[in-house]
Structure 1
Amino acid sequence: MSAAHPRVVEAVTAQMKAALDACSHRPVVMGLCGAQGSGKTTLASGVLDACTGEGLRAAALSIDDLYLTHADRQALAREVHPLLATRGVPGTHDIALGLSVIDALRQGKGARLPRFDKGRDDRVSMDLWGRAPAGCEVLLFEGWCVGAQPQPPEDLLLPVNSLEAREDSEGIWRAYVNDALAGPYQELFARMDRLVLLAAPGFEVVHDWRLEQERDLAALADPGARIMDAAAVARFIAHYERLTRHILSEMPQRADLLIRLDSLRQPLEIVHKR
């Protein structure tokens, strides 16, 4: 994927500087939300470069790197619902781990940054984790559901796609996901000082964007890595459809920075809310 658009990096950097001016604590936590393949990681890299240019100590953490281990998700699949074996939705992350990282940084300490290997579908050994510096001033926290709010219970009644209709006909999985989002995830999201939304033009573009990611992953993956084809990607993103559509519907009104993208991820509109 190409570098983040300069206007988008500039807009996020402006929000970051405003947060640094407004907040007495460090680091300020910048939440970056966007559908799969929308360019969150690329944007975070561009903003980290900007921080380096400003002489700021900064780090990035992806919610993807907080996934529960493969074994833990298999246990959830047995004990709660089979769809929880698939990483991604609320309820499949280690929220306590994310809170521990942010809280350590808020105390001025350095912190280990967890890593998840999507090719192996499991967490990387701790000795391979990255590290955020002591005295960190900016933490970029990015992820597809970062800052999301739960749906009203009545919105869970009907399935949004064939996956939910066939494999969650009683609504057990989506209720579990929604309850998790309403609980521990809100404590994690409350640590954020600004929320940035990269708004896709619609859920329909996510399949192609996610397929591009998978091809990039395949180019870098070790032999034996689990790489998805187009059909597997379609099934995979069906797990994300409900909440992605919900985010695109409700988050634009409350994000501190709204960046509307076209199908090529170019910015159509940039709106600062504060």
Structure 2
Amino acid sequence: MSVRLDKTQTIVQHILRNISTPRRFPPGVNCTATKPLFVGLSGPQGIGKTTLTNKLVAALSGAPHNLRVFAFSTDDLYLPFKDQQALSQRYPDNKLIEFRGLPGTHDVQLGADTFRALCEANQLAPIRSSQSAEEPIQQPAPIRVPIPTYDKSLHSGRGDQAPKDQWPQAEAPFDVILFEGWSLGFKSIRDQSHLLSIYQQRSTFPPYYLAEHPFSSLKVVDQFLEAYEQEWYSYLDVFVHLSAPNLATVFKWRAEQERDLWVKKGAGMTEEQVKEFVSRFMPAYEVYLERLLQESLFKENETSSGTRSTGRHLRLDLDENRDIVSTTLVE
């Protein structure tokens, strides 16, 4: 009888194996000695990223590891409502970026600023002293980093960034930063002839989600992806990819989540609305997922300083019950 692998413990062990490896950092960020370990967690809608992230925070911050961990999501970094409107008006015929979701609809600079602030907070965070009973020592003020929050309920569901005075404060120092998102790890295909070839192949393969959009719309998304690689991926030290058995499973999982919402809250999307919602993301999966499955996020980013790219990217292949079928270190 085979033993079922636990997702949380499998990922925890992957993180711990890399906790002492040299940190990666983008040009201009000079805090290598104190930079927390940035862990990217990617997986499609419905696969359970939020639940898993919460379990990882609990496992890493609890005994015996006792690490200082903070987590947030690409969902916290969508463009403000007015900027999303402006984007839609700039590309009126591009349905891929008409609403939030795909690359191009995030505030990439806000994300980069937040990553930098988390690194700098580690440099500035005071070393805590134990107070003496005879002569109490006044502890220095803690260093806190405001973390962006996005409220999807605003503007009749179109969403908007929450006011800054409502953003949660993360207190430094940090050992591990968990950052999760459905398209995290997707990379641009800068060779236009190659991108066109992929588009032509995928748009003639059932169920033709990509065929519903012109090549010019895909080109815009691909160009936006370059900024994610430069401004976000350059911070990541470790990567975990949760892989679904097939894209049809994404519809199934997302529908299950909505049925749970109906039971718990008496509200949620219908199955037809789920299908329409998930279909919006399918073109990005069709174009960018295969590369992420086969090639390490770090393959092209090994630096001259000796930072290794191998052993950092873990793929967990899951079945329809979200249980691990196999694990692979992607090189």
Interval containing the TM-score (normalised by the shorter chain):
0.7 to 0.9
Are residue 156 (structure 1) and residue 199 (structure 2) matched?
yes
Moved more, 264-273 or 40-49: 264-273
More helix by share: 1
- Aligned equivalents of 2:290, 2:105: Cα separation in 1: 23
How far residue 72 of structure 1 moved from its aligned partner, in angstroms, is 1.8
Match of 1:191 in 2: 235
Change (3 A) 1:218 1:70: farther
- Report which stretch shifted further, 63-72 or 247-256: 247-256
What's the CA shift for 1:148? 1.2
Say if 1:181 and 1:48 are closer, same or farther in 2 by CA, change over 3 A. same
Q: 1:18-47 deviations in whole A, cap 9, x for unaligned?
A: 222113542110000101111111111111
Residue aligned with 2:42, SS: strand
Structure 2 unaligned residues grouped into runs of 5+: 23-32, 123-142, 297-312
Task: Output aligned runs, 1:26-105, within 5 Å.
Answer: 26-53=35-62, 54-81=65-92, 82-83=94-95, 84-105=97-118
Q: Distance in 1 between matches of 2:172 and 2:239?
A: 24
Q: SS at the partner of 1:91?
A: coil
Retained in 1: the 8 A contact 2:36–2:119?
yes
1:271 aligns with 2:270: no
Report the secondary structure of 2:6's partner residue.
helix
Distance 1:63 1:131 in 2: 17
- 2:176 equivalent among 132, 138, 142: 138
- What whole-Å deviation, never above 9, does each CA across 1:114-169 have from its counterpart, x for those lacking one? 12223332222222222222111110010011111124422234637556544x3x
Which residue of the partner structure matches residue 116 of structure 1?
Answer: 150
Change (3 A) 1:211 1:71: farther
2:108·2:227 contact (CA, 8 Å) conserved in 1? no
Amino acid at match of 2:220: Y
The Cα of 1:206 is off from its aligned counterpart by: 0.8
Q: CA deviation at 1:218?
A: 5.8
The answer to whether the 8 Å contact 2:199/2:287 transfers is: no
Instruction: Give the letter for the 1:208 counterpart.
Output: K
Q: Deviations over 1:91-110 (max 9, x none)?
A: 00001111111111111253
Report the more deviating stretch, 262-271 or 114-123: 114-123
Q: What is the deviation of 1:177?
A: 0.8
Aligned equivalents of 1:100 and 1:219: distance in 2?
39
Contact 2:117 2:145 in 1 (8 A): yes
Conserved? CA contact 1:156–1:175, under 8 Å = no
Match of 2:248 among 194, 204, 214: 204
How many residue pairs get matched?
265
- Conserved 8 A contact 1:110-1:136: no
Query: 1:26 touches 1:138 (CA, 8 Å); kept in 2?
Result: no
> In structure 2, what is the Cα distance between the partners aligned to 1:127 and 1:218?
32
Shift of 1:171: 2.5
Offset at residue 245 of structure 1 (A): 3.4
1:244 aligned residue: 285
- Identity rate of aligned residues, in percent? 31
Give the aligned CA root-mean-square deviation in angstroms.
2.5
CA distance in structure 1 between the aligned counterparts of 2:79 and 2:187, rounded to whole angstroms: 21
Structure (1 or 2) with the larger CA radius of gyration: 2
Q: TM-score if structure 2 supplies the norm length?
A: 0.72
Residue of structure 1 in register with 2:217 after alignment:
173
Distance 1:199 1:267 in 2: 9
